[in-house]
Chain A
Amino acid sequence: MNFPFFNRLQVKKVVVAASGEAGLRAETILTALLQELPDLLLAYVADSQTGSILASYTASAAYNPNQLNLRTTKQLRTMSEALATGAWPGGALTDVSVILDDQLHHLRPVGAGQWHCFVAVRLADANLGIVKEVTRRATS
C-alpha cells in the first residue's frame, strides 16, 4: 500500500498514487496540464470524498501536495454545502481561483465532483484566463 505521508516527495515528476483507472485518468490530466503549463508549481488530482491524492506533480519540495489535499477537500465540502443550501444560488460550481501576491491557485471539480484538480502557478508564468482554460481542457 502506498502511504504518501511516509514517502519522500518526488520533484518534477508526475507521481501516481492510485492504481487502476482513477490513477490513469489523474495521470492523464496532470500530463495534459504540464504540456500547456510546464512552469507550474504544483498540481494534483484528489478524491473529493476522502481527500486522498490520485496523482501529483510538484516543482519543489516547498510545495507539498500532502499539506494541501485535505484542506482543499474541506474547502470544496463547504462550497458544496453552500450550493446545496441555496446560499449561492447561481448553479453548480465550475471552478475556484485564488489570486495571491504573485501566484494563482486554481481548483476545479472533475467528473461530477467525484474528484478535484488543484493547480498552482506563478502569475509571471501564466494568467487567470489561460489557467482556467487549460485546466478545463485537461479535465474534460
Chain B
Amino acid sequence: MLTPKQTVDGIKAELPTLVAVAVVETETGMPLASHANMADFDIETAAAYNTEVVKSKLKAIQALKLNQTLQDILLTLTDQLHLLKLSPTGDKFIYLAVNSKDTNLAQARQIMKAHSASLN
C-alpha cells in the first residue's frame, strides 16, 4: 500500500507533463498530497469542486438504486482532461489534470487505475 504522497510522486514520474495531480479526501474535499506544474493552478479549489462532482454523482447512483460502484469520472475540457478515480474504499480519490495534446484519455486512465489500486 502506498501513501498519498507516494501515489502523487509515482504519477508524476510516469506523466512528467501533467498539469496537476492530487490525492483528495472524499469527506472533506481537501488534498492529502498534491503537485501542480502550472504556477497559478489552485489545487485546493479544484479539489473542492471535484469532490462536489464525485458526491453528486454518488447521490445520482443511489437515487436510481443502481447497485454499481463509481469507477472513474472523466471531464473533457477544450484543452485538458481532468480525471477522478476513487480508491478501493472510496474515502479518497486521485485527481489528475493533463493537457490533451500531451496525454490521451486511455493513457491517463491506465496510470490512474494502476495507482489507485495501491492507494492507502
Contact = CB atoms under 8 A, between A and B. Distances in A.
Interface of A: 62-64, 67-68, 71-72, 74-75, 78-79, 81-83, 85-103, 105, 128, 132
A91 B78 contact: yes
A90 B77 contact: yes
A99 B85 CA distance: 10
Contacts of B64: 62-64, 67-68
B52 A128 contact: no
Contact of B49 (A72, A81, A97): A81
B56 interface: yes
Given A67-B64, A95-B75, 13 more contacts: A62-B65, A67-B63, A78-B52, A88-B46, A88-B75, A90-B99, A91-B80, A92-B77, A94-B76, A96-B73, A96-B76, A99-B74, A105-B57
Contacts of B2: none
Interface in B56-78: 56-57, 59-61, 63-66, 68-78
B75 to A, nearest CB: 5
B56 A98 contact: no
Contact of B72 (A63, A98, A132): A98
Ranked 6 nearest A-B pairs via Cβ: A90-B80, A91-B78, A90-B77, A82-B49, A100-B68, A94-B76
A29 to B, nearest CB: 19
B79 interface: yes
B62 to A, nearest CB: 10
Count chain A CB atoms within 10 A of each CB in B57, B63, B80 and give the residue with the most: B57
B53 interface: yes
Contacts of A96: 73-76
A97 B78 CA distance: 15
Given A86-B42, A90-B78, A103 B68 contact: yes
B80 A89 contact: yes
Count chain A CB atoms within 10 A of each CB in B48, B53, B105 and give the residue with the most: B53
